Amino acid sequence: MKRKDNFSELMGYAGKHRFLTYASWVLSALSALLALVPFVYIWLIVREVIRVNPDFSQASGIVKNGWMAVLFALLSMLVYFAALMCSHLSAFRIAGNIRKRAMAHVAALPLGFTEEMGSGRVRRIVNESSTATETYLAHQLPDLAGAIATPIGMLALLFAFDWRLGLLCLLPSVAAFCIMAKMTGKSMAEKMRQYQGALEDMNNEAVEYVRGIPVVKTFGQTVFSFKRFKGSIDRYNTWVVAYTKQLMKPMLWFTTAINGAFALLVAAGLVVARGDVTPEFLLDLIFYIIFTPVISVTLNKVMYMSENGLIVDDAMRRIRSLLEIRPLPEPASPRLPKDNSVEFDEVRFRYRNASEDAVKGVSFRAEPGQTVAFVGPSGGGKTTAAGLISRFWDASGGAVKVGGENVRDIPKETLMRTVSYVFQDSKLLKASVRENVKLARPEATEREVLAALHDAQCDDIVAKLPRGIDTVIGAKGVYLSGGERQRIAIARALLKNAPIVVLDEATAFADPENEAAVQRAFERLSEGRTVIMIAHRLTTVRHADRIFVWQEGQIAESGTHEELLEQKGLYEKMWRDYQTSVSWKVGGES
């Protein structure tokens, strides 16, 4: 039933091309039947050889029968090719359509979603799940049609020759089917899900690990950064070994059953004949012995097919789970921001699967044009709060307001135009500098792009690139440091010219010049805009209009730099620690 649902769902993606899938089944079944015919001809040859023995010159039909066998074998192959051609045309289209639908859906989801899910996982779901359906539709289903046609043809032959031997032939097949049913039963479906889950985890950790390499290098971390990745490999390993061991015995019996059919035939044939082996009986026996390889080939196909059935079940479930994640709802009665202020009113937020709120009823206000800084220990909730402003997620309680209106009531497009978010680790596309910057406003003129790059202090970056602003970032030999990437991201934000900017300051800089340049670029970006900055360096925040110190999901202190120093609280302590570390650094270097 479930398989059928999957199938009709898949056919939904095929559109008008679904008839190709059905055509492939008919052709494949026909090919399977045609493939049986050569065996009859081979048997005819053997029969003739035995009959005319020892005077082989009497044999007249051998050559003709031999050619007929070849002809039918070729015909069967040709028809099978045609079947695969049809099935592939439709399968590729379906896989393509699944990918398109899934990607269009992912693009509509809030940014927090990819962050939370891990982009490795999203990639795997979209890519590999659609590939799994392709194998299923292009190979497995046509083979299934063939596998159904083969026993029917066999049954016909069974009556044409010797029904007792025919039945014997079917016996190992029945045994093999029972073993297979056990191997692919309900508990195995669950196992397959776990297997896919472990694989997905490993994949995701690998992607995240490779992403994290720059940070790992900067901070000289070693084995600990491996820990999560290694953990996922270990889990996969333990799982696969246990699974393989469990399947060892059934697989052994299965292989024996399908390949041992002829041994059974020889032994049982003699018993059936009860010592009275007539030439006719011998001939029939020979037919079935010639014929048994077809059984093992067919059953092997069915075997891998049912395994793939499980993979497809799982693939469809994953795709569905992705499609079921709803985009943030668009407002029913849209409202436009009145000014460039940002305000939190008793905002709460909890991540899915988390046991505690990451933001615990926070209120604050940034006036239009002000620069406010978020500082505080890691895990305090700064990034989460900043994400709520751009609606990476929706608050679980309270109201996040931009220009006096709840962000939920502002149309998505307007909110995107109003708020820019510059990430700490700015993701640039593998495209030229120009294209990367223009992404913010595709219709921008060359002058505007150059001006944005200039204001974002990118002149030196562009100057050193081999092809200037047409250099493709990420191409061979073109590597930009974190600070340089962030400057290009700032140029993008400048070009976008949104009145409110959320900035997540980069933590790792290649050198002091780079840091200073990013600093100047930040200042340019702040001019005339409302800025919410997540600051990791206290020097950057000294001149902020207001500083909010985050701790455990709440704002513990707030004020200007001077006010906070006077309060002698957390900020003052952080500032002292910071001063010490700076003087220590300077001392250490001299």
The residue ranges that bind ligand ADP (CB under 6 A) are 116, 351, 354, 358, 378-384, 550
**Contact at 8 Å (CB) between 31 and 84?**
no
Peptide bond into 38 cis (omega under 30): no
Q: Of the two residues 372 and 456, which places its CB atom closer to ligand ADP in the complex?
A: 372
Q: Of the two residues 350 and 408, which places its CB atom closer to ligand ADP in the complex?
A: 350
Q: Of the two residues 166 and 380, which places its CB atom closer to ligand ADP in the complex?
A: 380
**Contact at 8 Å (CB) between 17 and 89?**
yes
Minimum CB–partner distance for residue 536 and ligand ADP (Å): 9
Minimum CB–partner distance for residue 240 and ligand ADP (Å): 28
DSSP codes of every residue in 89-139:
HHHHHHHHHHHHHHHHHHHHS-HHHHHHH-HHHHHHHHHHHHHHHHHIIII
CA distances, 10 to each of 300, 334, 382, 449, 459 (Å): 25, 37, 43, 45, 52
Long-range contacts formed by 49-53: CB under 8 A, 24+ apart: 50/279, 50/282, 50/283
Distance, CA of 439 to CA of 267 (rounded, Å): 76
**Strands 397-402 vs 546-551: parallel, antiparallel or unpaired:** unpaired
Minimum CB–partner distance for residue 184 and ligand ADP (Å): 36
Q: Of the two residues 352 and 447, which places its CB atom closer to ligand ADP in the complex?
A: 352
Minimum CB–partner distance for residue 475 and ligand ADP (Å): 32
Minimum CB–partner distance for residue 383 and ligand ADP (Å): 3
Q: Of the two residues 81 and 219, which places its CB atom closer to ligand ADP in the complex?
A: 219
User: Which position has the token pair 């400048």?
Assistant: 494
Q: Residue 163 carries which side chain, given as an amino acid letter?
A: W
Distance, CA of 342 to CA of 421 (rounded, Å): 14
**Contact at 8 Å (CB) between 456 and 491?**
yes
Q: Of the two residues 453 and 564, which places its CB atom closer to ligand ADP in the complex?
A: 564
Minimum CB–partner distance for residue 378 and ligand ADP (Å): 4
Q: Of the two residues 116 and 523, which places its CB atom closer to ligand ADP in the complex?
A: 116
**Contact at 8 Å (CB) between 487 and 506?**
no
Burial class from Cβ neighbours inside 10 Å (0-12, 13-18, 19+) for residue 551 reads: middle
Q: Of the two residues 20 and 385, which places its CB atom closer to ligand ADP in the complex?
A: 385
DSSP codes of every residue in 540-570:
HHTT-SEEEEEETTEEEEEE-HHHHHHHTSH
Q: Of the two residues 509 and 550, which places its CB atom closer to ligand ADP in the complex?
A: 550
Reading the block at residue 119, the tokens are 């982009």
Minimum CB–partner distance for residue 553 and ligand ADP (Å): 7
H/E run at residue 410: none
**Contact at 8 Å (CB) between 358 and 384?**
yes
Minimum CB–partner distance for residue 423 and ligand ADP (Å): 12
CA distances, 417 to each of 8, 153, 401 (Å): 41, 67, 15
Distance, CA of 149 to CA of 166 (rounded, Å): 16
Q: Of the two residues 333 and 378, which places its CB atom closer to ligand ADP in the complex?
A: 378
Minimum CB–partner distance for residue 521 and ligand ADP (Å): 22
Minimum CB–partner distance for residue 382 and ligand ADP (Å): 4
Q: Of the two residues 47 and 391, which places its CB atom closer to ligand ADP in the complex?
A: 391
Minimum CB–partner distance for residue 116 and ligand ADP (Å): 5
